[in-house]
Amino acid sequence: MTKKSGLRLAKRLDEVGFSDIVQIRNKVLDLRASGQMVHSFHGGEPFFDTPEPIKYAMLKALVENKTRYAPSSGIEPLRAALAKKLQTRNRIDATTDSVIVTAGGAHALHVAFQAVLNPGDDVLLFSPYWTPIRDMVTGAEARALLVPTATARRNGLTKTLEQFSTPHTRAIYYNTPQNPSGTVFSRADAEEVAAFAKKHELIVIADEAYEDLVYEGEHFSIASLPGMAERTITTFTFSKSYAMTGWRIGYAVAGELFMSGLKKLVLYSINGVSTPTQWAALDALSTPQSVIDARRAEYRAKRDMLVAGLCECGLECETPEGAFYAFPDVSKIHKDSRRVAAMLLDKAHVATIPGVVFGAQGEGHVRFGYSVPTDAITAGLAALKSYFKATPLTAKQGFD
Ligand SMILES: Cc1ncc(COP(=O)(O)O)c(C=O)c1O
């Protein structure tokens, strides 16, 4: 009798992909290592350094020997400060017990999906979407139902959600401001999604990673609407607001039922975020609002400069209302965004991310991250302009 090999991965990982964005980052690193100049618009992290007081708070925690195990859900002073922030800034009815500290927003989202999804469940996901979300849903043995954001905006959110929903729909992933499109959902949008979730008894996983980067209008948290706190897990991160991407700290807020699951998942995945990092995060929360506002103004100026430059190159580019990405339509060059991104990298040395990696609805676009120094935007646009001058924008120019 032949014995089957026991050396195999768990089946639930079969359909889980590994980030295309990482592959592009590696290619850029290779090009740089070979001495080539690359204009980097492929990234997605703040251009500025972590503010000094936050770094000193970490050092102070180390010197004071705050280096031991902390409660797995987070140190009490941080959770209390987060609850206060959530009440005042997000108008979410939070208490210290309804907040949990996670290893970044990505971890908060992973534990949120793991806490509420069963095999065979469906999750509504506005598309284009942040790439890891689909893999997180698949990793929970559920299925992502892609809801085209553009269609939802044109035909109405409720109608479009109804159209894409199935009898197995259990949750909606609601990201505002959105990566990669920069779309910001308004209060009225949140009210529609909330009414839909209540009508169909759905859970909302809200991702507010870019809450401090809204340029037009105001950020609005869906969990602040009546009856939504109990059916929503809202995730946040210190990565974008405080330039702390490498620190790996974020948090989630949820009602008692979901929190009981989140606590188990955080305990068994990381047993809590590093203790000194949590003390530094507590300090980050006292960053003056004026500092955050000044950064937002800088991002806004970069956005305006990049969008104007892309339009001058002949690309159609809507002005994004939030986050730090522009998502121009490049279908004039070629409908396959992977080919366009490869061409821009090889010929103009401009690194972008092909829109299709953010879902089928992102095809025909590429993502430019504009969280880069202003002179890098100037140089990148100059490279694009000279390339398009030499090779006009048309699918025929030796590209097909
Ligand atoms: C939409 C969105 N949500 C969540 C995150 C998570 O960020 P982090 O894990 O660094 O907190 C990101 C990071 O790029 C993002 O773009």
Q: What is the number of domains present in the chain?
A: 2
Instruction: Name the band, by pLDDT with cuts 50, 70 and 90, for residue 223.
Output: very high
Q: What is the CATH number of the domain that holds 345?
A: 3.90.1150.10
pLDDT tens-place string over residues 341-384? 999 999 999 999 999 999 999 999 999 999 999 999 999 999 99
User: For the packed helices 275-284 and 52-63, what is the interaxial angle rounded to 10 degrees?
Assistant: 140
pLDDT tens digits, residue range 169-206? 999 999 999 999 999 999 999 999 999 999 999 999 99
From ligand 1's centre to the CA of 245, what distance in Å?
A: 9
From 249, 268, 284, the end of a domain falls on 284
CA of 344 to the centre of ligand 1 (A): 25
Evaluate whether residue 395 is within a structural domain. no
Q: Six-digit token pair at 237?
A: 């991160």
User: Rounded to the nearest 10 degrees, how much is the dihedral formed by the CA atoms of 19, 24, 28, 31?
Assistant: 120
The single-letter code of the amino acid at 139 is G
- E strands, the chain, are 39-40, 99-102, 122-127, 143-148, 169-175, 203-207, 232-237, 250-253, 325-326, 350-351, 353-354, 366-369
Instruction: For 139-226, list the strands marked E by DSSP.
Output: 143-148, 169-175, 203-207
If one residue of 25, 207, 251, 273 were mutated to test the ligand 1 pocket, choosing by the most ligand atoms within 8 A of its CB, it would be 207
22 shares a domain with 145: no
* C-beta of residue 292 within 8 angstroms of C-beta of residue 98: no
**DSSP per-residue letters across 47-113:** SSPPPHHHHHHHHHHHHTT--S---TT--HHHHHHHHHHHHHTS-----GGGEEEESHHHHHHHHHH
Say if residue 398's pLDDT is above 50.
no
CATH (domain of 140):
3.40.640.10
Query: For residue 7, is it within any domain?
Result: no
Instruction: Look up the domain containing 187 and give its range.
Output: 67-284
Confirm whether 3 is domain-assigned. no
Q: Which atom of ligand 1 is nearest to the CA of 175?
A: 1
Same domain, 269 and 327: no
Residue 368 lies in a domain: yes
Residue 268 is assigned to a structural domain of this protein = yes
Is residue 141 a part of any domain in this protein? yes
Nearest to 242 by CA among 263, 211, 273, 203: 211
Q: Are residues 219 and 234 in the same domain?
A: yes
Query: Do 314 and 265 have their domain in common?
Result: no
**Whether residues 244 and 162 fall in one domain:** yes
* Position 316 pLDDT exceeds 90: yes
pLDDT-based confidence at 3, cuts 50/70/90? low
pLDDT confidence band for 2 (50 / 70 / 90): low
Whether residue 96 is found in the same domain as residue 216: yes
Nearest protein CA to atom 16 of ligand 1, as residue: 179
One domain, residues 136 and 226:
yes
% of the chain at pLDDT higher than 70:
97
Given pLDDT bands bounded at 50, 70 and 90, which one contains residue 293?
Answer: very high
Q: How confident is the model at residue 20 (pLDDT cuts 50, 70, 90)?
A: confident
Give the distance from CA 159 to its chain's centroid.
25
| pLDDT of amino acid 394 | 63
Give the CA radius of gyration of the chain.
Answer: 22
Q: Same structural domain for residues 83 and 130?
A: yes
Quick one: 215 and 298 in the same domain?
no
Residue 393 counted as domain residue: no
Give distance in angstroms: CA of 105 to centre of ligand 1. 5
In a domain, 229, yes or no: yes
